[in-house]
């Protein structure tokens, strides 16, 4: 391992990074407060702030009343010093958002993808619209993360397989990077939902948890030691393929709807279950909401029992302690469904994890894409102070 000597330049860079992180996490701070939190003298803290002001990364944002002396200046990170973009790509809708360096979402738009199928044109159109809404240019973006259904190869970063988005294939990532001229990352949508949950949701500050995405398709986002676990081929979390007693095994693995667990809890299965209990609705989420409203206990108990099969399988292998329900079904069921799943799991799983519902507001995949992009952008900005 190469060791970097503690040169004055390196020390300044480390101090600058610590200061910027404190200003982002703790809000505006005075020079004295920054010095106290970083362990720097007032003189060194003042030099650091002057250096960051020269770089237009930090600015005075107010004053703090003190004692008999003059008010102390409050400093904060300049929001416009960097921007990032995130996308949630679905077959019938593309959602795009732009956030500044502080994490504040400054624009969010939706684009209908039906006009053309070329992924590069679709993405360019969506991000261009989001940037225009935010009042910035594409050139001001520091990082760009796209969330999409399918398996993303962790070695190449390309989409290896996507049943719902057949035009997303190997080579698209390189084309996007050339077209946008900005660092682009493609990530599985459920992984990004898990990242959002860890950043600002039910799993905030929890380093080991699993997010169960229950909807038309089934998926898992696995967080171990505070890091996403993607698997050797990027296929970790494809729980729709989980073998389930009583359900036939798939005969063709290129047909995602044929997976055993998918057959148990997918759209057709939930529609059939709802029909059996007289629950009416147009979508899976509608069925769940109607069951909660009408008190269709039988439907809810059986749905929870089916979901518990997948949750228990994950729990006995990973023992995460916390399971977060998300996706259209998970969110529609809320705390009532989560509690029923937890009770069902406890009946046949020795580890007995806690089961809660997602707390991320809005589009969790888009939020996770912005969180991921922010991490990349801050790494760039914080490394360029000296």
Residues in Cβ contact with 316 at an 8 Å cutoff, skipping those fewer than 6 apart? 349, 350, 351
Looking at the DSSP bridge assignments, the partners of residue 355 are: 323
Distance CA(231)–CA(377), nearest Å, equals: 25
How far CA 149 is from CA of 81, 159, 298, in Å, comes to 32, 9, 32
Distance CA(184)–CA(182), nearest Å, equals: 6
Distance CA(174)–CA(67), nearest Å, equals: 58
Mean pLDDT of 109-117: 84
pLDDT of residue 4: 52
For tokens 């809890």, what's the residue?
Answer: 265
Of 279, 339, 350, 281, the closest CA to residue 307 belongs to 339
Distance CA(152)–CA(220), nearest Å, equals: 14
Mean pLDDT of 133-139: 95
As a whole number of Å, the CA-based R_g of the chain is 24
pTM: 0.92
Contact assessment for residue 157 and residue 188, using Cβ atoms and an 8 Å cutoff: no
Distance CA(37)–CA(29), nearest Å, equals: 10
Distance CA(332)–CA(328), nearest Å, equals: 6
Looking at the DSSP bridge assignments, the partners of residue 64 are: 72
Distance CA(208)–CA(198), nearest Å, equals: 10
Give the helix, strand, coil percentages of the chain, each rounded to 5: 45, 20, 35
Task: Please tell me the total number of residues recorded for the chain in this structure.
Answer: 386
How far CA 104 is from CA of 79, 87, 285, 359, in Å, comes to 8, 16, 29, 18
Q: Per residue in 260-303, pLDDT tens?
A: 999 999 999 999 999 999 999 999 999 999 999 999 999 999 99
Report the b/e string of 343-368 with b at 16+ CB within 10 A.
ebbeeebeebbebbbbebeebbbbbb
Q: Per residue in 158-206, pLDDT tens?
A: 988 787 787 888 889 999 999 999 999 999 999 999 999 999 999 998 9
Q: How confident is the model at residue 386 (pLDDT cuts 50, 70, 90)?
A: low
Q: Per residue in 14-69, pLDDT tens?
A: 888 889 999 998 889 999 899 899 888 888 888 999 999 999 999 998 888 766 66
Distance CA(249)–CA(163), nearest Å, equals: 19
* pLDDT above 70 as % of the chain: 97
Q: How confident is the model at residue 125 (pLDDT cuts 50, 70, 90)?
A: very high
Average pLDDT, the chain: 91
Distance CA(269)–CA(59), nearest Å, equals: 56
Q: Per residue in 311-357, pLDDT tens?
A: 999 999 999 999 999 999 999 999 999 999 999 999 989 989 999 99
How far CA 55 is from CA of 8, 289, 361, 386, in Å, comes to 18, 52, 34, 9
Q: Per residue in 216-261, pLDDT tens?
A: 889 999 999 999 999 999 989 999 999 998 888 887 777 767 889 9
- Give the distance between the most distant pair of CA atoms in the chain: 80
């Amino acid at each position: 391992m190469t060791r970097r000597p503690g040169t004055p330049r390196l020390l300044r860079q480390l101090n600058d990074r610590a200061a910027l992180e404190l200003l982002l996490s703790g809000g505006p701070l005075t020079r004295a407060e920054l010095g106290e939190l970083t362990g720097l003298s007032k003189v060194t803290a003042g030099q650091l702030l002057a250096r960051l002001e020269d770089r237009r990364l930090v600015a005075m944002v107010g004053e703090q009343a003190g004692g008999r002396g003059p008010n102390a200046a409050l400093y904060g990170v300049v929001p416009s010093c960097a921007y990032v973009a995130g996308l949630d790509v679905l077959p019938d809708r593309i959602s795009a958002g732009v956030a500044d360096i502080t994490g504040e979402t400054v624009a969010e738009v939706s684009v209908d993808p039906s006009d053309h199928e070329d992924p590069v044109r679709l993405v360019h159109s969506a991000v261009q619209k989001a940037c225009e809404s935010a009042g910035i240019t594409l050139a001001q973006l520091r990082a760009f993360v796209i969330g999409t259904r399918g398996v993303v190869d962790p070695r190449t970063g390309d989409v290896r397989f996507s049943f719902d988005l057949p035009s997303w294939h190997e080579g698209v990532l390189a084309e996007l990077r050339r077209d946008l001229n900005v660092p682009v990352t493609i990530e599985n949508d459920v992984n990004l939902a898990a990242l959002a949950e860890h950043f600002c949701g039910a799993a905030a500050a929890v380093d080991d948890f699993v997010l169960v995405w229950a909807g038309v398709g089934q998926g898992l986002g696995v967080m171990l030691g505070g890091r996403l676990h993607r698997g050797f081929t990027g296929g970790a979390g494809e729980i729709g393929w989980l073998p389930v007693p009583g359900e036939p095994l798939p005969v063709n693995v290129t047909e995602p709807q044929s997976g055993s667990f998918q057959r148990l809890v997918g759209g057709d299965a939930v529609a059939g279950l709802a029909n059996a209990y007289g629950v009416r609705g147009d979508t899976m989420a509608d069925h769940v909401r109607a069951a909660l409203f009408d008190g269709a206990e039988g439907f809810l108990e059986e749905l929870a029992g089916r979901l518990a099969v997948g949750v228990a399988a994950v729990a006995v292998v990973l023992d995460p302690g916390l399971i977060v329900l998300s996706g259209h079904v998970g969110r529609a069921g809320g705390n009532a469904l989560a509690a029923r799943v937890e009770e069902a799991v406890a009946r046949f799983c020795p580890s007995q994890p806690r089961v809660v519902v997602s707390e991320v507001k809005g589009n969790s995949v888009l939020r996770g894409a912005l969180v991921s992009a922010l991490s990349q952008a801050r790494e760039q900005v914080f490394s360029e102070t000296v």
